[in-house]
């Protein structure tokens, strides 16, 4: 994606269930990421209610995707500690995969065949353009694997 972490953001969707052990693994990863965000703040760390979102794509009652959006992190000592012109780091956790990267915004949309797709609004540099140029990427998930990459 962009400069602060050498990574090209990839997002994903999951089709299929997972076991309690896999769900616990997703929560463990989530807890580690929140703890890391808190540790980077010298005091007054806050996690907004909407910073963590869970999705059940196949409607089996189990979460297939957990998203941690660092735009929901705040630190009393720094107004822009977690986000910048490239956007904020967003973490995507499935039972089988993990990915993160900078995005200005993201949303889940449905294709004509009713498949969920994660659409990313990226910094223009991610598409070889200047910062304010609209730039988008989309990815899906299959069996917990990331399918596709943002540029």
The reply to whether 118 falls in a domain is yes
The reply to whether 15 falls in a domain is no
Q: What is the DSSP letter of 55?
A: E
Q: Which domain holds residue 114?
A: 20-147
The reply to whether 96 falls in a domain is yes
pLDDT tens for each residue of 117-149: 889 999 888 888 887 888 999 888 777 777 876
> How many domains is the chain built from?
1
The reply to whether 3 falls in a domain is no
102 DSSP β-pair partners: 89
92 DSSP β-pair partners: 67, 99
Q: Scan for tokens 């540029």, then name that residue.
A: 151
Collapsing DSSP to helix, strand or coil, 122 comes out as: coil
The reply to whether 9 falls in a domain is no
pLDDT tens for each residue of 9-45: 333 222 233 344 445 577 878 889 999 888 888 878 8
């Amino acid at each position: 994606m962009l400069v602060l972490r050498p990574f090209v953001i990839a997002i994903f969707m999951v089709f299929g269930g997972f076991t309690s052990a896999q769900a616990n693994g997703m929560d463990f990863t989530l807890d580690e990421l929140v703890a890391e965000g808190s540790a980077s703040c010298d005091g007054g760390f806050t996690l907004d209610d909407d910073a963590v979102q869970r999705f059940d794509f196949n409607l089996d009652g189990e979460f297939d995707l957990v998203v941690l959006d660092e735009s929901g992190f705040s630190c009393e000592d720094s107004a822009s500690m977690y986000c910048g012109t490239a956007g904020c780091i967003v973490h995507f956790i499935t039972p089988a995969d993990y990915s993160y990267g900078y995005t200005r915004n993201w949303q889940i949309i449905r294709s004509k065949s009713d498949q969920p797709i994660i659409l990313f609004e990226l910094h223009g540099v991610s598409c070889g353009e200047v910062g304010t140029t609209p730039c988008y990427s989309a990815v899906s998930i299959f069996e917990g694997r990331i399918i596709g990459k943002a540029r």
